Amino acid sequence: RPGAGRWVPDGAERTDVDALAQAAHACRGCELWHDATQVVFSAGPSDADLALVGEQPGDREDREGEPFVGPAGRVLADALEAAGVDARTVYLTNAVKHFRHTELPERGKRRLHKTPAVAHVRACLPWLEAELAAVRPRVVVALGSTAARAVLGAPARVGELRGRALPPPDGAPVGAVPDVEAVVVTTHPSALLRLRDRSGWDEAFDALVADLATAARAAH
């Protein structure tokens, strides 16, 4: 079947996050590798109790090869700190490992983020399955609807699901990891970057912090 599956290593390498990250450089499981600079795999300890799943690398992440090093990562770091979570203890990854974007030649080739399609999420899922099986976190946080779809294995409305410690559904990527006790869905930090007025920002930030705190409590 199409997708990343045939690039995911078997055996001992399958449960070694560094080996997975290394193997992902060769992935051609969908077309997104072609226009991206490099694969962006994950960051953080491979024995973390808390795993955070984003959507896909952004422009900065694509250039640097590290997840959440751009503006959304700044928001996330601030929210984790406000939630009392040491960011160094958290495993960070994305549903899709290559940067999907469009180029605007009339604006000096500025690269514009493009939301990955369901087909990209599905193609990239073998990486998420393998890394979650390797890390075996107690709680998985899905940042935004793309991540929620990947983690829960079904379309998900963030507004309806957010902020609760949800039981991991059977069969979904998390359902195959016995250690996962809960999934917490929240907004994507980049959604805050689009908020212009101060009160909207504060409200959205506080809600993100509250959801991350819920996840941290569930992981203890």
Binding site for ligand SF4 (CB under 6 A): 4, 24, 27-30, 32-33, 39, 96-98, 120, 123-124, 127
CA distances from 12 to 8, 9, 18, 42, 134 (A): 12, 8, 11, 19, 10
Which one of 51-59, 128-136, 159-167, 210-218 is the stretch in contact with ligand URA (CB under 6 A)?
51-59
Q: Which does 72 bind (CB under 5 to 8 A by kind): ligand SF4, ligand URA, none?
A: ligand URA
Closest distance between ligand SF4 and the C-beta of residue 51, in Å?
Answer: 17
Q: Which stretch binds ligand URA (CB under 6 A): 4-12, 68-76, 81-89, 116-124?
A: 68-76
HSE-up (13 A, CA, CB side) for residue 54: 30
Cβ proximity to ligand URA: between 70 and 163 the closer is 70
Q: What is the dihedral of CA 5, 69, 132, 149, to 10 degrees?
A: -70
Residue 58 interacts with ligand URA (CB under 6 A): yes or no: yes
Q: Per rule CB under 6 A, is residue 72 in the interface with ligand URA? A: yes
CA 120, 212, 183, 17 torsion-angle sign = positive
**Among ligand URA, ligand SF4, none, what binds residue 96 when CB lies within 5 to 8 Å by partner kind?**
ligand SF4
CA distance linking residue 210 with residue 78, whole number of Å: 13
Separation CA 131–CA 147 (nearest Å): 14
Q: Which amino acid is at 35?
A: D
Minimum distance of ligand SF4 from residue 132's CB (angstroms): 15
Which residues fall within 8 angstroms of residue 62, CB to CB, at 6 or more apart? 36, 37, 38, 40, 98, 99, 101, 111
Q: Which residues pair with 103 in a beta bridge?
A: 111
- Between 112 and 159, CB nearer to ligand SF4: 112
Least separation in angstroms between CB 58 and ligand URA? 4
| Site for ligand URA, rule CB under 6 A | 54-58, 61, 67-68, 70, 72-73, 94, 190
